[in-house]
Structure 1
Amino acid sequence: MKIGLFDSGIGGLTVLKKVIENFGNHEYFYLADNLNVPYGSKPISFLRENLKNILSFFQTMKVELLISACNTTDSIVKKTNFDTKNYTFTYVSIIENAVKKIGRNDSVLLLATENTINLGAYKEALLNKKIVKIEEKACPLFVPLIEEGYWDGQMAESVLRFYLQDSKSKYQKVILGCTHYPILENQIRKYTNSSIVDPADGIVDFLKNEVNLDRLDGKIKVNYLVTGNIEKFKFLSKIFMKDVKYHPIFKKIQL
């Protein structure tokens, strides 16, 4: 199957990696819009127009599935009447599938970008499930930290401590409401002492149970389509995907 994924940068690789691990040799197209990273603090009007360009791009690529590997843009789809039904591909929501991993009696901490929290798609979905205890925390420094490659060390520890120092053992589940955040999962778990919900796992469940996507054998190839600094993306993707046996192809594009 021809599968597209998109994000503002390397964050969506946390989704791509789990999709590859579970489904193998499909035809993958990953759009990294790192020219415009971070999405979390950009004007919603700009992000809506940019999202139209992204979806139109994937339409011309004739993908069959388009996975939103970005919680901010999926929030825009959910909360600004953005129509995804006029395209030939099936749009896969990361927020819908993340919330499926939350039980009714769970206490929840949502870590996300400012835009994701302000748009309120996660909170609405959680309230619809009758979740009572919900706290939301915007972590705007996480994405730039990750995009610059500071995944551990003193700088990462300082930022994590700044956001999470009062969060230990207060919640049953922590939703990583930005696909960049699983790159810091071990540190987040240490600071919260909670069960971590990675929305990528919800995407995998959806592809298994709703799409009935088969696992295919063979040499895996990923077409990376990068709007900004391609060399930085190559470097960071190589580190994150180092244990994945696949052939990456990088191409600079303009939306």
Structure 2
Amino acid sequence: MKKQAIGLLDSGVGGLTVMKEAMKQLPNESFYYIGDTARCPYGPRPKEQVKEFTWDLTKFLLEKNIKMLIIACNTATAAALPELKKVLDIPVIGVILPGSRAAIKTTQMNRIGIIGTEGTILSGEYKKAITKKQANTSVFSQACPKFVPLIESNQFSSAIAKKVVTESLQGLRKQKVDTLVMGCTHYPLLRPLIQNVMGDTVTLIDSGAETVNEVSVLLDYYDMAEEKSEQPNERKFYTTGSVNMFKEIASDWLELNELEVEQVSIARLKGIIDNERT
């Protein structure tokens, strides 16, 4: 019997940081990943448009008969998670609550910083999640709209990236936070630069990695976890943009030489949805 895969979706390559942790923690599982690089970034877009795009990717993954969906994108989580959880009959996991819980556990001074896309920061979902559980915590949010384009263009190790990160985080440094949530799954690719600017006394929280911890628990809870077997795992990648650029970033970040990457047109995504609605 063929293994059912876990589906991951993201606005681009950022969700690969979640994928890397998932492959490490869940070696017996199969994964399908789709990154909407043709329409990235999601951060500056209106909420309803982000929700529409998230549904496009979700419908595509549902065609693959996935058993669980990970929204490996903070902006999409903020826009679409409640609706997806309500409608779908498979477990759906976002990245905001796990990242928030980890920040609460980590902070010693109750001063938490959040960095994310414009959409994520404007939604206020991180601040709401944190203060709901720990009301006396001060939360300082900073949108970093220049980060995602840097990463999507494979410049996250460049001198330009160092300059952009330094300039973007100056205001947050003054708030003297002791914990900083990287509230976009792209941002761990900039982790060394972010840590250098914020200083060693600030603990960085990877919302994507924290999400995989939760996925592992849910797989056991729903009795959906795959056991070790001789049947090979599937790891398939789809992108709405350039296959070569996606493969270059993914191969480097995941440390895999043989990646199966397929280009999926926006028209095809829309076709899947239109066919299901007629």
TM-score, scaled to structure 2: 0.84
1:186-225 to 2 correspondence within 5 Å?
A: 186-193=192-199, 194-212=202-220, 213=225, 216=228, 220-225=233-238
2:76 aligned with 1:73, yes or no? yes
C-alpha distance in structure 2 between counterparts of 1:18 and 1:181, whole Å: 14
Secondary structure class of the residue paired with 1:31 = strand
What are the superposed Cα offsets for residues 136-161 of structure 1, whole Å, 9 maximum, x if unpaired? 00000000001111112310111011
- 1:59/1:87 contact within 8 Å kept: no
Give 1:96's aligned residue: 97
Q: Which runs of 4+ in 1 moved over 3 A?
A: 166-169, 213-221
C-alpha distance in structure 2 between counterparts of 1:134 and 1:123, whole Å: 6
In structure 1, give the amino acid aligned to 2:50.
L
Q: How much has 1:197 moved relative to structure 2?
A: 0.3
Give 1:181's aligned residue: 187
Cα gap change, 1:83 to 1:66, in 2 (>3 Å):
closer
Secondary structure class of the residue paired with 1:210 = helix
**Residues 208-217 or 197-206, more deviating:** 208-217
C-alpha distance in structure 2 between counterparts of 1:179 and 1:43, whole Å: 19
Q: How much has 1:181 moved relative to structure 2?
A: 0.2
Select the structure that is richer in helix: 2
2:168 aligned with 1:163, yes or no? yes
Secondary structure class of the residue paired with 1:88 = coil
Q: How much has 1:226 moved relative to structure 2?
A: 1.1
Give 2:272's aligned residue: none
Give 2:273's aligned residue: none
Larger Rg: 2
- 2:101/2:130 contact within 8 Å kept: no
**Residues 217-226 or 92-101, more deviating:** 217-226
What are the superposed Cα offsets for residues 199-231 of structure 1, whole Å, 9 maximum, x if unpaired? 122212212323224564665541111112112
Q: How much has 1:185 moved relative to structure 2?
A: 0.7
Indicate which of 6, 12, 22 corresponds to 2:15.
Answer: 12
Secondary structure class of the residue paired with 1:30 = strand
**Residues 139-148 or 185-194, more deviating:** 185-194
Give 2:118's aligned residue: 114
In structure 1, give the amino acid aligned to 2:245.
K
C-alpha distance in structure 2 between counterparts of 1:167 and 1:189, whole Å: 13
- 2:30/2:235 contact within 8 Å kept: yes
**Residues 29-38 or 44-53, more deviating:** 44-53
Q: How much has 1:57 moved relative to structure 2?
A: 1.8
Give 2:60's aligned residue: 57
C-alpha distance in structure 2 between counterparts of 1:153 and 1:117, whole Å: 26
Gapped regions of structure 2 (runs ≥ 5): 270-278
Give 1:3's aligned residue: 6
Count matched residues. 251
Cα gap change, 1:117 to 1:168, in 2 (>3 Å):
closer
C-alpha distance in structure 2 between counterparts of 1:38 and 1:220, whole Å: 30
2:251 aligned with 1:250, yes or no? no
Secondary structure class of the residue paired with 1:34 = coil
Gapped regions of structure 1 (runs ≥ 5): none
C-alpha distance in structure 2 between counterparts of 1:237 and 1:159, whole Å: 23
**Residues 161-170 or 68-77, more deviating:** 161-170
Aligned alpha-carbon RMSD (Å): 2.0
What are the superposed Cα offsets for residues 21-78 of structure 1, whole Å, 9 maximum, x if unpaired? 1111322100011010000111222212112222222222110011110000000025
- 1:64/1:88 contact within 8 Å kept: no
